[in-house]
Amino acid sequence: MLRGTAMWILDSAYRNGGIDLWTKEGGAVTRVHHPYDPPFLVHFADPHASHEMIGALEERYSAEECTIRTVFGSLPGYRVVADRMVVEAIEEQAQYDVQLFNVDVRRDQRFMAEQGIFPCSANENDRFSHEVSHDLDVITIRIHGEPERSANLPEVELVHKRTERLAGPEGTILSDLFALFSALDPDVILMPDADAWMPRLRQLAERHGLPLPFSRNGKYRAMNSRSYWSYGRMEHKDAALVPDGRVLIDTERSFVYREGGLEGVLMSARLSGLSPSLVSRFTPGTLISSYETYEAIRRGIAVPFRKSDGETVRRISTLQAADRGGMMFQPRPGVFWNVEEIDFTSMYPSIIVQVNLSPETIGHPERRGFLPEILDPLISMRIRTKQLKKTDPAIEGIDSILKWMLVTCFGYTGYKNAKFGMIEVHEGITRQSREILLRTKEIAEEMDFTVLHGIVDCLWVQGDPVELLKARVEKETGLSLEVEHFDWIVFEPLADGFGAYNRYFGRLPDGSIKVRGIAARRHDTPEFIRSMQQEMLTEMSYAGTVAELDALWDTVHARYRDAVAQLPSAPVQEMVISRRISRLTYAHRCIEGAAVRACRRHGLTVAPGMKIQYVVTDARRYQAEPVWCAKIFDQQYYRGLLDKAWEEIAFAFRNGNQPECQPVKCAGLAVW
């Protein structure tokens, strides 16, 4: 009915027993409703033992026999049109000796996958292309103030072709904002903190008797907030109110928008078969999982509800040999010149494709795996965008989203609830990566290169010509490589004197400084300290050699002394620490726990995984205040942070000709 139809789908939602598709054509947006009530699939391990239940399903829900196609093969089963309560009743009565499929797939995504259509493009060849044009009308709405604390609606800015500033009584601001919005009738709304402001705006609209205009049909989808563990840390997903028929992006909280901009959001929608509003609120892991689900449905493969292929019992020796993680070479701390960084492009997903790793290929390598087939076009796309972004900065956002999706696809192979994951696949990937990195190191040393550092999919070497090394490694491994030259690079030390794996900075040929792991890069660094270190790095960027770097000691050291002198009079707002909290209660006294208690005391609703902003007012007494009410800061505590940031920079000079300095006194504080 729709297969092969060219339409630019702006939004989709399950409404009134069917799918609403909002399409844009000729500058106009229209809604088309498609009745849709898809079945779930059920396979009984022992149909004879469940014959009474099967009979009831046939009688009450017109269940039909069918063949269920999975990645492992075909299963006999039944097609049932019923709600989630029936699914849970089947599980309970069958004592969970049953397999269910296509239960929790989003209906609009499933509909589009079955029809072979996808959002944000009218050309079926555009799905894996970075060059997709659109004529979406975009506006930005900025509401000044804090959504959790502002008693009244503050000043509002609406940016289209010009900026409109709305101020005055609350009712007047709302009326003017809604009138302007309705007159413009945009397709995309960019709004910082949209997910916090939308419930407030709805309440205010009801108070003043005004209709909320952001939805094209007056309906909104509510997304609940939740806290969850991901990659060893607690994350938090905010509640959201998503309008029908338009794209609403929270530009402050959306990872996808922050990394990829609007083009990254639209590409994510094309790949996953989901509304742009939804994907803008997803993590990279959810994006790759959604992409896998779309591809499975499109290919007629059933998506398991609860996996039944858990890790099998294995001997401890087997487990130790298999589960060893990625390979790393610990660097020698110091400053090194003319260094080449050899980086495998999307190494882990490339291994999946090259070695044909997928749950169904474990023990059956002759099969072509589901994961290799669906990841292959993503990797090809990533290789193209990584090359193109060197000359076209507009591609950088799309490349970043592809990078994160491909990074997380590896982690999902070992996630126990991943629809198409298996721990043996995860282990197979890391085993291959270790062998590849070891072989790359051997090749480099055979060609008289000096290996300085290596971590999972990167190797830092000194030597020449690097082009020959790149060509040989690519030929032997079959993987794509990127080479980045450093005029000089600094590998930071650990407290024990050995080199840190993930803390370094170095100068690239264009004069920019690549930074990893130090204060200027970390999200929780106060702006005053970040600014100091960033200014130091800017000065150091003028040095093309280690000798020129050593000559900058006085300039860089003077910036540190200035920061120390300015610290007592620095604005409190520049001392803000942003940190993601892992819990609400703490067994021991700590600054983070004090900050959480202070936020709650001032009426802020907090949840595990949220980011909070606070200022440390007295570290010895474990006292902190939320950013909006802090009046003072603990100078000694922040001096300690300042010194740590300085030490990261100073190490670059102590490795060279600059001798160790003795501390001197300045304003009663020790200064190096």
Specify the pLDDT at position 322. Answer: 59
- Cβ atoms 124, 132 nearer than 8 A: no
R_g of the chain computed on alpha carbons: 28
d(CA 263, CA 133): 9
What is the dihedral angle through the alpha carbons of 472, 476, 478, 481, rounded to the nearest 10 degrees? -30
Nearest residue to 539 (alpha-carbon basis) of 531, 643, 526, 529: 531
CA atoms of 404 and 289, how far apart (whole Å): 12
Q: What is the pLDDT of residue 317?
A: 60
Residue type, 559: R
Give the HSE-up count for residue 54: Cα atoms under 13 Å, Cβ half-sphere: 19
* Ranges assigned E (strand) in 414-512: 450-455, 458-462, 481-493, 499-507
In the sheet that 40-44 helps form, which strands lie side by side, from edge to edge? 64-70, 73-80, 40-44, 98-101
Q: What confidence tens digit (pLDDT) does each residue in 549-570 have?
A: 999 999 999 999 999 999 999 9
The tokens describing 277, both together, are 């509003």
Options 3.40.605.10, 3.10.290.10, 3.40.710.10, 3.90.1600.10; CATH of 322-517: 3.90.1600.10
Instruction: Indicate the pairing of strand 188-191 with strand 138-143.
Output: parallel
Q: In whole angstroms, what is the distance from residue 132 CA to residue 139 CA?
A: 20
CA distance 637 to 617: 9
Place of tokens 């993590």: 283
Can you name the residues that pair with 189 across neighbouring β-strands? 139, 248
According to DSSP H, which parts of 208-283 are helical?
Answer: 255-272, 276-279
Residue type, 609: G
Q: Residues 72, 74, 78, 80: is their CA dihedral positive or negative? A: positive
Q: Which tokens in the block code for residue 362?
A: 């474990």
Task: Give the helix/strand (H/E) hosting 62.
Answer: none
Assess contact for 515 and 505: CB atoms under 8 A: yes
Q: Which pLDDT value is given to residue 546?
A: 85
What fold, for 124-295? Answer: Nucleotidyltransferase; domain 5 (3.30.420)
Per-residue confidence (pLDDT) for residue 123, from 0 to 100:
82
For tokens 């050995």, the residue is: 498
With CA atoms as reference, report the closest residue to 196 among 135, 141, 263, 273. 141
Closest to 490 measured CA to CA, from 515, 510, 509, 466: 515
Is residue 576 within 8 A of residue 617, CB to CB? The reply is no
- Which residues, given as ranges, of the chain have pLDDT below 70? 1-6, 150-151, 228-235, 307-324, 414-416, 655-672
Residue from 600, 619, 617, 618 nearest 608 by CA? 600
List of residues 6+ apart from 659 with CB closer than 8 A: none
Q: Would you say 101 and 78 are in contact if contact means Cβ atoms under 8 Å apart? A: no
40-101 has which CATH code? 3.30.70
pLDDT at 561 (0 to 100): 97
Per-residue pLDDT, 153: 84
Q: What is the pLDDT of residue 193?
A: 92
Q: Which CATH number fits domain 520-672: 3.40.1080.10, 3.40.50.300, 1.10.132.60, 2.30.110.10?
A: 1.10.132.60
Question: What whole-number distance in Å separates Cα of residue 620 and Cα of residue 616?
Answer: 10
pLDDT recorded at residue 124: 80
Pairing of strands 669-671, 664-666: antiparallel
Q: In the β-sheet with 499-507, what is the strand arrangement from edge to edge? A: 328-329, 450-455, 458-462, 334-344, 481-493, 499-507, 513-516
**Structural domain spans, the chain:** 40-101, 124-295, 322-517, 520-672
